[in-house]
């Protein structure tokens, strides 16, 4: 019998048999021990700094890593032994005590560790072959002998950061990184701003790298190229079709450049977003429809022989207590690049402002992403404000930027908590610098095009500078049935999260499109100011599967057309020889209609897939300059400012003094002070451009 038992035990050991989990009085037991959840923080013993990426293992098998704040959480047997490890530190194994649920760990530096290698590489997405070909390994000896030469010969001014392996402590631009955190240095810094690196190995030896190659790289921010709309002959192209755009991100971003003493890149200036940043005093819809339209015609301020047509759309206002319930997912980028003061700290303040506006019927979940993705807060009622804010306060920055995975997780959470006929929306806060996983514009666009069919909208809040990816965020918002705002300071956060809360979050009309038909008897040429990336084929206007723009509660949209009246000589309309094989159509410039144009606009109710259409006409009866509305003059001043910033080929007689005077006359009540701020901005820009011109002339 004894031999039989020995054979049975051997068989069990050989086959790896594990006793089934048992339950006793509601307690999970494995191998006779309770299953418990242990959490804590892993830090550097000498500095107290959190050790990002420190691993926690059991019996030699890694089971989790510390997050950006050094926090970890594991579920194990109550008498298990946990081993904690981090590059450059001594491992530490600790046996849990029965019932222990908290275990904070301080790791000691491994004094037997030397600086083995430093990998210096450009901060761009590469596949394995490309990395092998463009990386350079500098050993500790090479760095000590000639750090500058060994770095400069490879980088040639294009370096983005350092990936430091096996150093106890590294200082990059004076900021300390401990142990595994040093590996994240590349991701923490915008490309090209490394000035000095100090590396201390386990023995206390120090190496300083100060290569001339470490210089700011201009153009790290990305903007889609804008090819300005041209003047078009209505005989050949009578229809102009576009999706409306309520975004104001471009203006806030331009303001950031000017306030920093720099002129913005030309492609950062989107004239329609400059204009639509501001509120306009348009009449509310009166027919029960969600949107009303108004038009105005007068001489163009920069060329009195031309005319300017203003088309204004106004979405109806709805009281907050009448708005549908919201299912919100805050998707927050906590990667290393968000560690700057004007990024994650401002994100956290902005999100808490938004939380203060929520009602008990609203729900919020929080998803974060860095090198990986996690749900920090399950969907929680909006009246549990302290709980939500506590989670926001705990967020810290560090790691890669798995934006694609973050979006997928956010859509999953939004779908899980979907509210039928409610406001289901993801609010993404980021600098747009996705570099892990699905990160290309095409990847992200395809993901959002699939997910938008579920009824979940995507709004984008952009933060930061240096590595700011405006092009990517504008694309995501356009494809995601949402709006896009750039937040550069607390005032802008208040505007987006408090003052314009309803417009930011609640769609009142979706897929809004405009189509304008010009009468060639009155119009020789026309040009749409801005909206270059929102133009549509004429057939798309009646096609309900083609996306338009969305308008939120109380939103206004302005579109400006510059018109060259029939019979006015101009240098913008190119001549074309008469066609040989076909004759012009019968409807020519000689018709007797007093109409300059017919404007059709199409929209859908938020819960409908079928659009409605309305139309208005504009009669050839231009207003005198003194009779135009304040809104007309102010919008024209902003457009003129945009053309000067872009040095547009169509700026004609645009002048700063002229637009500033016009804006001052059109300031109106300006309760929020945004128009006064624009005037100050235009005056600063005038002085900056004058200085730039004088410098260039020397």
pLDDT in tens, 156-165: 333 333 444 4
> How many CB atoms are located within 10 Å of the residue 89 CB?
24
Whether residues 192 and 340 share a domain: the answer is no
Q: Please list, in sequence order, all residues whose beta carbon lies within 8 angstroms of the beta carbon of residue 240, skipping any fewer than 6 positions away.
A: 232, 514, 515, 516, 518, 526, 528, 561
pLDDT at 36 over 70: yes
> In this structure, what are the phi and psi dihedrals at residue 385, rounded to the nearest 5 degrees?
-65, -40
Domain boundary residue, one of 44, 74, 107: 107
Residue 607: which pLDDT band, with cuts at 50, 70 and 90?
A: confident
pLDDT: is 568 or 85 the higher one?
A: 568
- pLDDT of amino acid 275: 97
- pLDDT of amino acid 632: 97
**CATH code where residue 538 lies:** 2.60.40.1230
- Helix 656-665 to helix 674-697 angle (10° resolution) is 170
- pLDDT of amino acid 44: 84
- pLDDT of amino acid 692: 61
Is 32 inside a domain boundary? yes
pLDDT at 338 over 60: yes
Which one of 304-308, 472-476, 546-550 scores highest in mean pLDDT?
304-308
Residue 305: which pLDDT band, with cuts at 50, 70 and 90?
A: very high
**CATH code where residue 100 lies:** 2.60.40.1120
Domain boundary residue, one of 459, 477, 505: 505
pLDDT: is 602 or 609 the higher one?
A: 602
Residue 62: which pLDDT band, with cuts at 50, 70 and 90?
A: low
For residues 550-565, average pLDDT: 94
Distance CA 644, CA 637 (A): 11
Alpha helices in 358-402 (DSSP H): 385-393
Which one of 334-338, 405-409, 627-631 scores highest in mean pLDDT?
627-631
Whether residues 297 and 418 share a domain: the answer is no
Q: Please list, in sequence order, all residues whose beta carbon lies within 8 angstroms of the beta carbon of residue 617, skipping any fewer than 6 positions away.
A: 595, 597, 598, 599
Whether residues 345 and 494 share a domain: the answer is yes
- pLDDT of amino acid 75: 82
Q: How far is CA 377 from the centre of its chain?
A: 21
Using CA atoms of 144, 148, 150, 151 in order, give the dihedral in degrees to the nearest 10.
120
pLDDT at 433 over 90: no
Token pair for residue 85? Answer: 């490890």
Distance CA 504, CA 484 (A): 9
Whether residues 178 and 72 share a domain: the answer is no
Residue 124: which pLDDT band, with cuts at 50, 70 and 90?
A: very low
For residues 616-624, average pLDDT: 95
> In this structure, what are the phi and psi dihedrals at residue 327, rounded to the nearest 5 degrees?
-115, 100
Is 580 inside a domain boundary? no
Q: Which of 8, 1, 72, 62 is nearest to 39 (CA)?
A: 72
Q: Which of 425, 226, 217, 207 is nearest to 326 (CA)?
A: 425
Write the DSSP assignment of 621-660 as a string of letters. -PBPGGGS-HHHHHHHHHHHHHHHHHT-TT-TT--HHHHH
- pLDDT of amino acid 195: 43
- pLDDT of amino acid 566: 92
Residue 407: which pLDDT band, with cuts at 50, 70 and 90?
A: confident
pLDDT at 609 over 90: no
Whether residues 381 and 289 share a domain: the answer is no
What's the domain count of the chain? 4
pLDDT: is 400 or 283 the higher one?
A: 283
Whether residues 675 and 603 share a domain: the answer is yes
Whether residues 168 and 265 share a domain: the answer is no
- pLDDT of amino acid 186: 41
Whether residues 195 and 248 share a domain: the answer is no
β-pairing, 55-58 vs 197-200, is unpaired
**CATH code where residue 395 lies:** 3.40.50.410
Angle at 306 between CA 301 and CA 307, to 5 degrees: 75
- pLDDT of amino acid 127: 36
- pLDDT of amino acid 120: 37
What percent of the chain clears pLDDT 70, i.e. is strictly above it?
74
- pLDDT of amino acid 490: 85
Residue 336: which pLDDT band, with cuts at 50, 70 and 90?
A: confident
pLDDT: is 435 or 341 the higher one?
A: 341
The lowest-confidence range among 62-76, 214-228, 336-350, 683-697 is 214-228
Is 412 inside a domain boundary? yes
pLDDT at 172 over 60: no
Residue 442: which pLDDT band, with cuts at 50, 70 and 90?
A: low
Give per-residue pLDDT as tens, 239-253.
Answer: 999 999 889 999 999
pLDDT at 384 over 80: yes
Is 2 inside a domain boundary? no
Residue 444: which pLDDT band, with cuts at 50, 70 and 90?
A: low
- pLDDT of amino acid 339: 83
Distance CA 600, CA 618 (A): 11
Whether residues 350 and 448 share a domain: the answer is yes
- pLDDT of amino acid 209: 42
Give per-residue pLDDT as tens, 176-200.
Answer: 555 444 444 444 444 333 444 454 5
Is 438 inside a domain boundary? yes
pLDDT at 210 over 80: no
pLDDT at 354 over 50: yes
Distance CA 186, CA 206 (A): 20
Q: Average pLDDT of the chain?
A: 78
CB 187 within 8 A of CB 52: no
Distance CA 97, CA 333 (A): 37
Token pair for residue 438? Answer: 């699905």
pLDDT: is 532 or 609 the higher one?
A: 532
Is 16 inside a domain boundary? no
Token pair for residue 406? Answer: 């973050």
Give per-residue pLDDT as tens, 482-525.
Answer: 788 899 888 888 888 888 877 778 888 989 999 999 999 999 99
- pLDDT of amino acid 163: 43
Whether residues 153 and 204 share a domain: the answer is yes
CB 501 within 8 A of CB 357: yes
pLDDT: is 431 or 633 the higher one?
A: 633
Q: Which residue is it, tokens 């229809």?
A: 239
Give per-residue pLDDT as tens, 363-374.
Answer: 999 999 887 788
- pLDDT of amino acid 2: 42
Distance CA 294, CA 546 (A): 25
Distance CA 158, CA 152 (A): 10
Distance CA 525, CA 238 (A): 10
Distance CA 86, CA 57 (A): 11
Q: Please list, in sequence order, all residues whose beta carbon lies within 8 angstroms of the beta carbon of residue 358, skipping any fewer than 6 positions away.
A: 326, 328, 364, 382, 383, 385
Distance CA 531, CA 42 (A): 51
Whether residues 448 and 501 share a domain: the answer is yes
Which one of 126-135, 159-168, 466-475 scores highest in mean pLDDT?
466-475
- pLDDT of amino acid 589: 59
Token pair for residue 89? Answer: 């530190």
pLDDT at 131 over 50: no
The residue segments making up the domain with residue 460 are 325-505
What order of strands is seen across the sheet that includes strand 55-58? 61-65, 55-58, 81-85, 92-95
pLDDT at 680 over 60: yes
Whether residues 499 and 516 share a domain: the answer is no
Q: Is 673 exposed, middle or buried (0-12, 13-18, 19+ CB in 10 A)?
A: exposed
β-pairing, 33-44 vs 105-107, is parallel
What percent of the chain clears pLDDT 90, i.e. is strictly above it?
43
DSSP-assigned letter for residue 8: H
Is 300 inside a domain boundary? yes
- pLDDT of amino acid 472: 78
Is 692 inside a domain boundary? yes
CB 30 within 8 A of CB 21: yes
The lowest-confidence range among 302-316, 379-393, 429-443, 528-542 is 429-443
Token pair for residue 298? Answer: 């007068």
Q: Is 309 exposed, middle or buried (0-12, 13-18, 19+ CB in 10 A)?
A: buried
For residues 245-262, average pLDDT: 90
For residues 396-401, average pLDDT: 78
- pLDDT of amino acid 167: 45
For residues 209-238, average pLDDT: 70
pLDDT: is 310 or 133 the higher one?
A: 310
- pLDDT of amino acid 202: 39
- pLDDT of amino acid 666: 96
Residue 441: which pLDDT band, with cuts at 50, 70 and 90?
A: low
Domain boundary residue, one of 455, 476, 505: 505
């Amino acid at each position: 019998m004894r031999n039989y038992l020995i054979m049975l035990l051997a068989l069990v050991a050989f086959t790896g048999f594990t006793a089934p989990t048992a339950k006793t009085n509601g307690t999970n037991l494995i191998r006779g021990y309770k299953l418990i959840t242990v959490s804590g923080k892993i830090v550097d013993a000498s500095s107290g700094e959190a050790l990002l990426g420190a691993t926690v293992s059991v019996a030699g098998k890694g089971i989790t890593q510390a997050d950006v704040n050094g926090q970890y959480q594991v579920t194990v047997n109550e008498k298990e032994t946990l081993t904690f490890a981090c590059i450059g530190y001594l491992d530490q194994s600790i046996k849990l005590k029965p019932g222990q649920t908290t275990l904070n760990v301080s790791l000691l530096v491994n004094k037997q560790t030397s600086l083995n290698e430093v990998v210096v590489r450009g901060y761009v997405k590469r596949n394995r072959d490309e990395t092998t070909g463009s990386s350079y390994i500098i050993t500790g000896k090479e760095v000590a002998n000639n750090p500058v030469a060994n770095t400069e010969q490879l980088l040639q001014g294009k370096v983005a950061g350092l990936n430091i392996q096996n150093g106890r402590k590294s200082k990059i631009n004076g900021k300390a990184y401990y142990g595994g955190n040093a590996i994240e240095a590349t991701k923490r810094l915008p490309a090209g701003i490394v000035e000095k690196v100090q590396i201390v190995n386990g023995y206390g030896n120090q190496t300083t790298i100060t290569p001339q190659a470490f210089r700011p790289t201009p153009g790290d921010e990305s903007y889609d190229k804008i090819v300005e709309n041209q003047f078009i002959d209505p005989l050949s192209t009578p229809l102009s079709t576009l999706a409306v755009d309520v975004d104001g991100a471009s203006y806030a971003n331009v303001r950031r450049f000017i306030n920093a003493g720099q002129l913005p890149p030309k492609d950062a200036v989107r004239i329609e977003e400059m204009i639509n940043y501001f509120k306009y005093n348009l009449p509310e819809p009166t027919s029960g429809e969600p949107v009303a339209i108004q038009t105005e015609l007068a001489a163009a301020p920069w060329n009195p022989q031309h005319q300017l047509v203003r088309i204004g759309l106004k979405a109806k206002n709805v009281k907050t207590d009448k708005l549908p319930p919201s299912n919100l997912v805050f998707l927050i980028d906590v990667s290393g690049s968000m560690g700057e003061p004007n990024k994650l700290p401002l994100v956290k303040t902005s999100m808490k402002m938004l939380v203060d506006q929520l009602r008990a019927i609203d729900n919020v979940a929080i998803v974060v992403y860095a090198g990986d993705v996690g749900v920090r807060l399950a969907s929680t009622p909006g009246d549990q404000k302290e709980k939500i804010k506590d989670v926001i306060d705990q967020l810290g920055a560090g790691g890669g930027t798995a934006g694609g995975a973050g979006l997928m997780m956010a859509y999953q959470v939004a779908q899980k908590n979907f509210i039928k006929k409610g406001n289901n929306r993801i609010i993404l806060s980021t600098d747009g610098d996705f570099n892990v996983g699905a990160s290309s514009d095409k990847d992200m666009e395809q993901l959002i095009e699939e997910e938008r069919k579920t009824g979940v909208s995507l709004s984008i809040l952009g933060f930061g500078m240096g590595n700011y990816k405006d092009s990517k965020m504008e694309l995501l918002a356009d494809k995601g049935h949402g709006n896009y705002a750039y937040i550069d300071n607390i005032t802008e956060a208040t505007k987006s999260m408090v003052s314009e809360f309803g417009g930011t979050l609640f769609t009142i009309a979706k897929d809004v499109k405009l189509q304008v038909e010009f009468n060639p008897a009155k119009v020789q040429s026309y040009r749409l100011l801005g909206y270059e990336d929102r133009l549509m084929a004429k057939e798309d206007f009646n096609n309900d599967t083609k996306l338009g723009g969305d308008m939120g509660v109380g939103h206004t949209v302005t579109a400006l057309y510059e018109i060259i009246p029939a019979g006015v000589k101009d240098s913008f309309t190119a001549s074309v020889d008469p066609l040989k094989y076909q004759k012009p159509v019968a409807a020519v410039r000689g018709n007797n209609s007093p109409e300059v144009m017919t404007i059709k606009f199409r929209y859908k109710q938020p819960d409908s897939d079928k659009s409605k259409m309305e139309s208005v006409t504009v009669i050839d009866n231009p207003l005198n300059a003194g009779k135009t509305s304040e809104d007309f003059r102010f919008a024209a001043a902003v457009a003129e400012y945009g053309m000067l910033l872009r040095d547009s080929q169509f700026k004609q007689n645009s002048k700063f003094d002229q637009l500033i005077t016009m804006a001052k006359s059109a300031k109106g009540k300006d309760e929020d002070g945004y128009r006064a701020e624009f005037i100050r901005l235009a005056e600063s820009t005038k002085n900056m451009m004058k200085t730039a011109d004088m410098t260039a002339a020397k």
